[in-house]
């Protein structure tokens, strides 16, 4: 079945630094990838939609200059949290839409802790 | 407003017992409904996907039902196992087959021995 690899699974960084999270579709091509944020005991909240070769579409209230998204190929999208602050600490999850089956496959998530 | 509501919020059952989780939605136009299992600290994993014309779909001990008229879905877990402890999320797709996903808040299931 479709597999999405997300790295790193956990990261701790200092305030003011930047962190990059990678999302790869391993066995299918994904023209569209999605980035979510999840707070404890809450459901996933869509942050942005990433389309290969074009700019990402951000949801209302999400700062595009803070959460930089790059979708350089059909199998890779990256989310960079710039100038991280403790309030950015959260669980970030990506998903990829299979071009052929239209199924959505989620990555395993990244736990970001900003100290 | 497109919404997906799940009940109960949390559920505790003993190993070996059955349980049923509920999902009500007000999403238009409706495309399909998905159930996901999310273990703590992990990404969601797909259990079932149902389109408008499908009433039921099974995946091992998981059976999902869909009533498109009443806009309700259920996920039935048979002979629960400790590994079933997780959050179960109902997700409805609005618009085309691969359009915007509307997430429910999830049901947190705990299975005790």
Quick one: pLDDT at residue A98?
79
Maximum C-alpha span of chain A: 42
Disruptive mutation site among A90, A102, A105, A110 for chain B (greatest number of B CBs within 10 Å): A102
Please, which pLDDT band fits residue A103 given cuts at 50, 70 and 90? confident
Please, which pLDDT band fits residue A102 given cuts at 50, 70 and 90? low
Q: How far apart, in whole angstroms, are the C-alpha atoms of residue A109 and residue A100?
A: 24
Q: Collect all residues of chain B within an 8 Å Cβ-Cβ radius of residue A11.
A: none
Q: With contact defined as beta carbons under 8 Å apart, do B78 and B17 qualify?
A: no
Q: Is the dihedral of CA A52, A53, A59, A62 positive or negative?
A: positive
Chains A, B: CB contacts under 8 A, how many? 40
A16 vs chain B: nearest CA distance in angstroms?
25
Q: How far apart, in whole angstroms, are the C-alpha atoms of residue A56 and residue B61?
A: 39
pLDDT tens per residue across span A14-34 = 999 999 999 999 988 888 899
Strands ordered across the beta sheet of A76-81? A4-7, A19-25, A76-81, A67-73
Check whether B60 has a pLDDT greater than 90.
yes
Of B42, B43, B105, the CB nearest to A43: B105
Mean pLDDT computed over every residue of chain B: 93
Tokens 């409706």 — which residue?
A: B30
Check whether B73 has a pLDDT greater than 90.
yes
Q: Collect all residues of chain B within an 8 Å Cβ-Cβ radius of residue A43.
A: 89, 103-106
Contact B103 A108 (CB under 8 A): no
Q: Name the least confident of A46-55, B45-54, B91-100.
A: B91-100
How far is C-alpha A104 from the geometric centre of its chain's CA atoms?
14
Q: Does B79 touch chain A (CB under 8 A)?
A: no
Closest CA to A107 of B38, B48, B35, B32: B38
Contact B41 A102 (CB under 8 A): no
Determine what percent of chain A falls in helix, strand and coil, rounding each to the nearest 5: 5, 50, 45
Q: What separation in angstroms does the CA of B59 have from each of A14, A55, B16, B37, B96?
A: 43, 37, 17, 12, 24
Disruptive mutation site among B6, B32, B43 for chain A (greatest number of A CBs within 10 Å): B43
Question: What is the DSSP code (8-state) at residue A59?
Answer: P
Q: Collect all residues of chain A within an 8 Å Cβ-Cβ radius of residue B3.
A: none
Quick one: pLDDT at residue B100?
79
Check whether B97 has a pLDDT greater than 70.
no
Q: How far apart, in whole angstroms, are the C-alpha atoms of residue A111 and residue A9?
A: 6
Tell me how many degrees the CA angle A51-A55-A60 measures, rounded to the nearest 5. 95
Q: Does B94 touch chain A (CB under 8 A)?
A: no
């Amino acid at each position: 079945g479709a597999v999405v690899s997300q790295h790193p699974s956990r990261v701790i960084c200092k305030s003011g630094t930047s962190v990059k999270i990678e999302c790869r579709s391993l066995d299918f091509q994904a023209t569209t990838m999605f980035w979510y944020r999840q707070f404890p005991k809450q459901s996933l909240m869509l942050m942005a939609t990433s389309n290969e070769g074009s700019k990402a579409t951000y949801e209302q209230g999400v700062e595009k200059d803070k959460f930089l998204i790059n979708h350089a190929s059909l199998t890779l999208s990256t989310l960079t949290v710039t100038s991280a602050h403790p309030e950015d600490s959260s669980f970030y999850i990506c998903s990829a839409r299979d071009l052929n089956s239209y199924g959505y496959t989620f990555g395993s998530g990244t736990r970001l802790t900003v100290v | 407003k497109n919404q997906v509501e799940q009940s109960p919020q949390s559920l505790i059952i003993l190993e070996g017992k059955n349980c049923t989780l509920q999902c009500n939605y007000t999403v238009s136009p409706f495309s399909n409904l998905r159930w996901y299992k999310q273990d703590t600290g992990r990404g969601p994993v797909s259990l079932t996907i149902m389109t408008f014309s499908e009433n039921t779909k099974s995946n091992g001990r998981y059976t999902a039902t869909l009533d498109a008229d009443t806009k309700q879905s259920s996920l039935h877990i048979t002979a629960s196992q400790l590994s079933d402890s997780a959050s179960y999320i109902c997700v409805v797709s609005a618009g085309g087959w691969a359009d915007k996903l509307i997430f429910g808040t999830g049901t947190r299931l705990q299975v005790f021995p």
